[in-house]
Amino acid sequence: MATEDKNRATAAAILPLVGGAANVSSVVHCMTRLRLGLHDRSLVQDEALKAVPAVMGVVEDDTYQIVLGPGTVARVTPEFEKLVEEGKATAPAPAPASAPLTAEELAAQGAEMKAARKAKNATPFKLFLRRIANIFVPLIPALIGCGIIAGLNGLLVNLGWLTSVTPALAAMASGFMALIAVFVGYNTAKEFGGTPILGGAVAAIIVFPGVANIEAFGQKLSPGQGGVLGALGAAVLAVYVEKWCRRWVPEALDVLVTPTLTVLVSGLVTIFGLMYVAGEVSTAIGTFADWLLSNGGAGAGLVLGGFFLPLVMLGLHQALIPIHTTLIEQQGYTVLLPILAMAGAGQVGAAIAVFFRLPRNESIRRTIKSALPAGFLGVGEPLIYGVSLQLGRPFITACVGGAFGGAFVGFFNQLGDAVGSTAIGPSGWALFPLLDGNHGLGATIAIYAGGLVVGYLAGFVATYFFGFSKELLAEFNVSQEPAASTVAATGPEAPVTGTTGPDAPAKEPAGV
């Protein structure tokens, strides 16, 4: 089957299982997930959806999230959007009901459902993290592409090869990072309800070379000072200035006065305030990261690697995106990501141990076999939601594996061998092309690979020997096939089956 046909077939399989085109209100995707806004959550067929071969798992938050994996999600989403548009265009007019609801009643029902979802998922902190993610996640593909080109260029420079080409590669790798503040400003204004181009215009002040001639707080400014944090703050300020202008400026003058005042006011505040303050904060972040790993070493790595899986599960890892980006701006790489990536190694080791400890549970073993390749490449959701989290204790032992892997990498950081990543997004084996450090690429790759091996082994040993109580083995080391009839009826090749998914109704997470 051609790739396009395969992606369209996947989209076509998913659409009716989420209630059809009429039930879809929005379609977006991140690195691994198709995120759907739905009018009626009750129309979703969870178990049948998990049985679709390309679906690795599902997560319910403010949107309904279908885990498809990196690469696949970017190809399936456009096909899904086309099918939704086609479905809405050709949908027949609804037949009149015997007792139709009034417009007011329908509006009240919709408002009630929306309020219930918000009450469940929209705490102020989660809303803040969601906005941070919406600003920075669209930048990740460019960060990855430029990061890989930077790694290739560094390798060629060290080997002395293609000396006429390496300057061009350096320009490709550095161009985006030189202007990343503009893109952050654009996305920030868009996310906060302003005019995106005005956010980008104000943020562009930060990277304009001419700011080197301006003095603030008794010292000359530097182009790029404040980085992405300054751009974020400048764009948020621009949105508030713009909204104020929209309320008070007469409509006849709006097109001239509003953009002028927005750029002027927020630009002056950015130059004579935000750039300096954000620059100090950015410098403090870089200094603290270096201090933490230079002095904390293995201990810091153990804590970071051990607690990252719970952060991912709760969505709190999104708060780290601006920190990673700031470190990449300052140092050329983030030293935190390779340590945090060890959490995925612990998860993989734990999953392999579960595979051997539950030889009779065909359902979980099939889930593990289908999800392990993605796990090795750093996509952990299928293993988290489909295996370790529902078992309980193996999730904890997976965190132990991540802690040991993080301690290994952190120890070498303390010895002076910094291991960093030139971009964010990938993890596991997919991070190898993005690695960089201060003692040569060979040493950096060896340390990172050693950390992965330690994470795999520690996760496996901790789970195999301490991840199962007698009661847990008695409960799960049995055949699940008879209980999976619902999914079996959906399709014989279901990679994730009935009672082992994250939404399984029959079992609570096993005790720890």
Q: Quick one: DSSP state of residue 273?
A: I
* Two structure tokens written together for 445: 């790759």
| CB distance 279 to 233 below 8 Å | no
Q: Quick one: DSSP state of residue 67?
A: E
245 is catalytic: no
Phi-psi category of residue 276: left, alpha or beta, with phi > 0 → left and psi -120 to 50 → alpha: alpha
* Two structure tokens written together for 174: 């550095």
Strand-strand pairing, 64-67 and 57-60: antiparallel
Q: Which amino acid is at 423?
A: A
Tallying the residues shown for the chain, one arrives at: 512
Q: Degrees (nearest 5) of the Cα angle 223, 271, 229? A: 70
Q: Which residues contact 182 (CB under 8 A, 6 or more apart)?
A: 200, 203, 204, 207, 231
Three-state SS for 4?
helix
| CB distance 406 to 301 below 8 Å | yes
Q: Which amino acid is at 230?
A: G
Q: Which of 30, 146, 245, 399 is catalytic?
A: 30
Nearest to 424 by CA among 342, 327, 503: 327
Phi-psi category of residue 263: left, alpha or beta, with phi > 0 → left and psi -120 to 50 → alpha: alpha
Report in angstroms the alpha-carbon separations of 73 from 16, 27, 55, 68, 365: 18, 12, 10, 5, 25
* Two structure tokens written together for 122: 């929209």
| CB distance 340 to 413 below 8 Å | no
How far is residue 473's CA from residue 248's CA, in Å, rounded to a whole number?
68
Q: Which residues contact 147 (CB under 8 A, 6 or more apart)?
A: 173, 421, 422, 423, 433, 434
Q: Which amino acid is at 131?
A: R
The helix (H) or strand (E) run that includes residue 447 is: helix 441-466
Report in angstroms the alpha-carbon separations of 60 from 8, 117, 390, 445: 23, 10, 15, 36
- Active site members: 30
